[in-house]
Chains A and B, each alone.
Chain A
Amino acid sequence: MTSSTHNISMTLNGEKTNALVEAHTLLIDFLRDAQNLRGVKRSCDMQICGACTVLVGDHPVSSCTMLAVDADGADVVTIEGLGDRDNLDPVQEAFLEFGALQCGFCTPGMILATKALLFSNPTPSRAEIEHHLSGNICRCTGYQKIIEAVESLAQT
């Protein structure tokens, strides 16, 4: 397959980032391989599981099914952009406090999906939380603690 290359420019985790990408490069490959952001997890590769969730302009997208060129001009946030060990994001704090993770593989996607939910609806009901997070699969089936963690954020 022949492919054209494109200069793209995005705000990635708060920093201006310029890159040259091939037209067919997926956002997940650009983030993991070119930008070394390994918190973006590849799992189902078909927009079902949510492990590869990143935020594009505060909206959740599957980076496995989005072209990197489509992030040109966008504000992209991965789990690495939220907080660090000494200064966690409130969603990360809540997941820690409630023990809302087991193996941790789905966690970056769960946390970013939660950020997107709270951006659009700061006080979601339990039903709204369940509806929104139903698109993110925890293969350890640790949903109860995750929902409790998100509920604690909705009440504040």
Chain B
Amino acid sequence: MARYSDDVSPYAGGTELLLAMKMHFADYQHLVDLKRIPELRTIIRRDDIVSLGALATHATIADDAIISGAVPALGALCSSIANARVRTSGTIGGNLCFAEPRADPPVLLAALDAQLVLKSARGEHHISASQFIIGALETLRAPDELLLRIEIPVTACNIRYERVVFGHRTIAGAAAAIPKDPANKPRIWVGCIGTHPTSLPTTERYISANPASLDDGLTHAIATDIGTLDIVSDEDASADYRRHLAETVTRRAITAAADKKGTP
């Protein structure tokens, strides 16, 4: 990676990279095939951390017993991403590193407070999933770094991801992680509406202060947060429509998690 500097890309599932190269959005003389490193596919649980190899495919995650036991919301999401062919090839690490603004997993992983472990010849580097993506197709990964694994804390939370899909992509998605102990801070994230996932701090504070109430105050808090965001218009949805959907999916995710329909 270091030898070819900016003329090289890591390559795994290819579901985003090969499309980008076919459309000439990206042009690399060198691809480094990470699929030859089987260790990058490992999914293991150590105490209260699930370590998810960056090369685990969506299909593998959807069928994995550790994931369905510890973070079932992630398994459920991965079983319905895109289509069966994308789920066969596409990897969770590729999904994060490509940072496609309409991708669902980054939103949920941010709400799960996952930590990303990257490595280069310079050493290992940990970064929170909630800070990793900084814009459309932009992350804090340095060109010579590889994402090795995603570490997901297994906490006593009710977690729910809700989304609206139009055609083959999500037009609004929201993740709610609500601790069973109201003393702990809830994490509410929204995505697929702008350039990258964002947290909803007013909503989080409202839920902390009013753990049992799913009332107009919550609706108002959500609208306040989402009103501050830059929301994109495109051929699938206008910004106004996306704003409405974002408020709706956020409320649905919180309601489902608070009702404990959300899985632990």
Which of A65, A132, A134 contacts B89 (CB under 8 A)?
A65
B76 in contact (CB, < 8 A): no
Interface window among B80-88, B113-121, B173-181, B185-193: B80-88
Query: Chain B residue with minimal CB distance to A132?
Result: B84
Interface SS of A by simple majority: mixed
Enumerate chain B residues within 8 angstroms of A136, measured Cβ to Cβ.
83
Stretch at the interface among B11-19, B102-110, B198-206: B11-19
List, in ascending order, chain A residues with CB within 8 A of B84's CB: 60, 113, 116-117, 132, 135
Query: Total A-B residue pairs with C-beta atoms closer than 8 Å?
Result: 57
Q: Which of B19, B29, B80, B85 contacts A53 (CB 8 A)?
A: B85
| Given A1-B29, A50-B83; A60-B88 close (CB under 8 Å) | yes
In the complex, the chain A residue whose C-beta lies closest to that of B63 is: A120
A20 to chain B minimum Cβ distance, whole angstroms, is 18
Q: Do A65 and B14 touch across chains, with their CB atoms under 8 A apart?
A: yes
Q: Interface size for chain A: under 10, 10 to 19, 20 to 34, or 35 or more residues?
A: 20 to 34
Return the contact of A135 from the options B27, B82, B89 (Cβ within 8 A): B82
Q: Flag whether A93 is at the interface (Cβ < 8 A).
A: no
Known contacts A48-B168, A67-B18; is A61 also within 8 Å of B82 by CB?
A: no
B interface size (C-beta, 8 A):
20
Note all chain B residues with C-beta closer than 8 A to A65: 14-15, 18-19, 22, 89
Residue B59 is within 8 A (CB to CB) of chain A in the complex: yes
Give Cα distance in the complex from A50 to B85, angstroms.
8
Does A2 sit within 8 A of B, measured CB to CB?
Answer: yes
A70 contacts the other chain (CB 8 A)? yes
- A47 and B19 contact, CB distance less than 8 A: yes
Which residues of chain B from 202 to 221 have a CB within 8 Å of any chain A CB? Answer: none
Q: Are A47 and B85 in contact (CB under 8 A)?
A: yes
Tell yes or no: A75 within 8 A of B by CB. Answer: no
Chain B 65-90 near chain A by CB (<8 Å), digits 1 or 0: 00000000000000010111110110
Minimum CB distance partner of B27 in chain A:
A1
B15 touches A45 (CB 8 A): no
Q: Quick check: B19 and A46 within 8 Å, CB to CB?
A: yes
A84 to chain B, nearest CB (A): 26
Closest 10 A/B residue pairs (Cβ): A135-B83, A59-B88, A62-B85, A65-B18, A60-B85, A60-B84, A48-B168, A61-B85, A135-B84, A46-B19
Q: A48-B83, A66-B14, A135-B84 are known contacts; what are 15 more A-B pairs with Cβ within 8 Å?
A: A47-B19, A50-B83, A53-B85, A59-B88, A60-B84, A61-B89, A65-B18, A67-B14, A67-B18, A113-B84, A116-B84, A117-B84, A135-B82, A135-B83, A135-B85
